[in-house]
A and B are shown apart, each in its own frame.
Chain A
Amino acid sequence: AQSVTQPDIHITVSEGASLELRCNYSYGATPYLFWYVQSPGQGLQLLLKYFSGDTLVQGIKGFEAEFKRSQSSFNLRKPSVHWSDAAEYFCAVGAGGTSYGKLTFGQGTILTVHP
């Protein structure tokens, strides 16, 4: 069965600083990987996705993520954080086969941005 680990429960950065959120996955086949963001009381918004091809994927709001098969990682990065990026971030892996599209999420990382 697939699983996702986000080692950092809470990260604090200063506005303008760079950001990296870690994600490690476990999946028996080629993974379909996603990063979502959730603001308090809201649903999840897709930031970016990886299926195949270029291991560096670009997303919305200036985010990018790099897939590293050898490390089973899919870390999210942003070169310069804005105060509006404060939210909770979830990494997820999608299941194929008969579980078409079912997502398994990590525990989430809460991002706090200091002015």
Chain B
Amino acid sequence: DTGVSQNPRHKITKRGQNVTFRCDPISEHNRLYWYRQTLGQGPEFLTYFQNEAQLEKSRLLSDRFSAERPKGSFSTLEIQRTEQGDSAMYLCASSETGGVGQPQHFGDGTRLSIL
């Protein structure tokens, strides 16, 4: 169990640029989640995958955001035309199937800073 891995750890970009983050979940975990955490707040749910299927998207996920999980393995989160308000920590978590009680294991996150 190598844990959930997220890359890059930090991303600094100019407003209007596109960015892409990657998440590698724990290998046997079928479920994958993305959350966004702004300073002084708890994480907020963005989207959820069961294997390769994206089953739920938050209203926070505007049309500039897109997430994929090809082949049910790693996942990417892309933000197009970044805005100042996108500055946040983006967290990925994974869990096994078997009920809502399965604990989610979090990566260390990608911190996005928009100049």
State in angstroms the CA–CA spacing of A82 and B21 once bound together.
Answer: 35
Binds A, one of B63-71, B74-82, B104-112: B104-112
Q: Which residues of B contact A95 (CB under 8 A)?
A: 100
* Chain A positions 71-115 with a Cβ under 8 Å from a chain B Cβ: 90, 92, 94-96, 98-108
- The reply to whether A107 and B56 contact each other, CB–CB distance below 8 Å, is no
Q: Which residues of A contact B26 (CB under 8 A)?
A: none
- The reply to whether B43 and A44 contact each other, CB–CB distance below 8 Å, is yes
Q: Which residues of A contact B35 (CB under 8 A)?
A: 103
Give the tally of cross-chain contacts (CB within 8 A).
Answer: 71
Looking at chain B, what size class is its interface with the partner chain? 20 to 34
* Chain B positions 35-84 with a Cβ under 8 Å from a chain A Cβ: 35, 40-45, 48, 50, 55-56
Please name the residue on chain B nearest to A90 by beta carbon: B42
Please name the residue on chain A nearest to B102 by beta carbon: A101
- The reply to whether A49 and B41 contact each other, CB–CB distance below 8 Å, is no
State in angstroms the CA–CA spacing of A41 and B108 once bound together.
Answer: 7
Give how many A residues have a beta carbon under 8 Å from the other chain's beta carbons.
Answer: 28
- The reply to whether B108 and A102 contact each other, CB–CB distance below 8 Å, is no
- The reply to whether A102 and B43 contact each other, CB–CB distance below 8 Å, is no
- The reply to whether B101 and A49 contact each other, CB–CB distance below 8 Å, is yes
- The reply to whether B42 and A106 contact each other, CB–CB distance below 8 Å, is yes
CB contact between A32 and one of B48, B50, B101 (< 8 Å): that residue? B101
Q: Which residues of A contact B108 (CB under 8 A)?
A: 41-43
- The reply to whether B104 and A98 contact each other, CB–CB distance below 8 Å, is no
Asked whether B16 is an interface residue with its Cβ less than 8 Å from the other chain, the reply is: no
Partner-B contacts on A (CB < 8 A) = 4, 32, 34, 36, 41-46, 49, 51, 90, 92, 94-96, 98-108
Partner-A contacts on B (CB < 8 A) = 4, 6, 31, 33, 35, 40-45, 48, 50, 55-56, 91, 93, 95, 99-109, 111
Besides the known contacts A95-B100, A101-B95, A108-B41, 8 further A-B residue pairs in the complex with CB atoms under 8 A apart? A34-B103, A46-B104, A92-B42, A100-B55, A101-B48, A101-B102, A102-B33, A107-B40
